[in-house]
Amino acid sequence: MWGLGTLGLSCSAMYARHMSTVEEPSEVQILKVHECWRLLRSNSVGRLAVSGGSGPEIFPVNYFPEDGTLILRTAPGTKMDALMGQEPVALEADGFNSYGTIAWSVVAKGLPEAIPADDPSQESAAHGLSPWEPGTKDFLFRITPTELTGRRFVISDSKRWWPAREPLEAP
C-alpha cells in the first residue's frame, strides 16, 4: 500500500486535492446492515435517545456490540427509568475517516431490556464497557435493533455553505 510519504503528499495536500475534486452536491451512500455493524464495532461512544416523562432526552453513552445487540451500562436516574419503561429507544453513533473528509452515521432502533446479573453478557461487557463519567454504573441493558440504518457522505467544504442565510419563515 502506498503511504502519503511515498507519494510525496502531506495530509493537508491530500485533503485539498480530495476536496477540490468533489462535486456538490455530494451523494449520500446508504449503508448495508453488515457495514452498519462494522462501523458500530469500530466505535464505542454514541447518543441514546429516549422518550421520558418530560419529553425526549438524549444521553451520551458507551456501548458494546455483542451478537447482534448493543449493550450499555448505566446508573439509577432518568436514563435508567426510560430504559426500564419498555418504550422504543434509538442509539446513534457517528465518525469520520482519518483524513476528516468522509463521515458516517448509524442509527439503531429497538426495545431495551435489562440484563440479569447471571447473564454471560455481564462478563464480556465488563471488558468492553468503560464509562467516561465517574460513579458506579452497575446496570446493563441490551438493545436488540429492530431497525438499523446508516449513511456515509463526503464532508462538504464550509466555504460552500457560509455565510449562513436567514431562516425561512414558516407558512
State pLDDT tens for residues 64-80: 999 999 999 888 999 99
What is the β-pairing status of strands 89-96 and 45-52?
A: antiparallel
Q: Residue 46 pairs with which residues in a beta bridge?
A: 61
Domains, the chain: 35-156 (2.30.110.10)
Residue 6 has pLDDT above 70, yes or no: no
d(CA 65, CA 151): 19
- How many angstroms separate the first and last alpha carbons of the chain? 55
pTM: 0.75
Q: How confident is the model at residue 105 (pLDDT cuts 50, 70, 90)?
A: very high
Q: How confident is the model at residue 119 (pLDDT cuts 50, 70, 90)?
A: confident
Handedness of CA 139, 142, 148, 150 (dihedral sign): positive
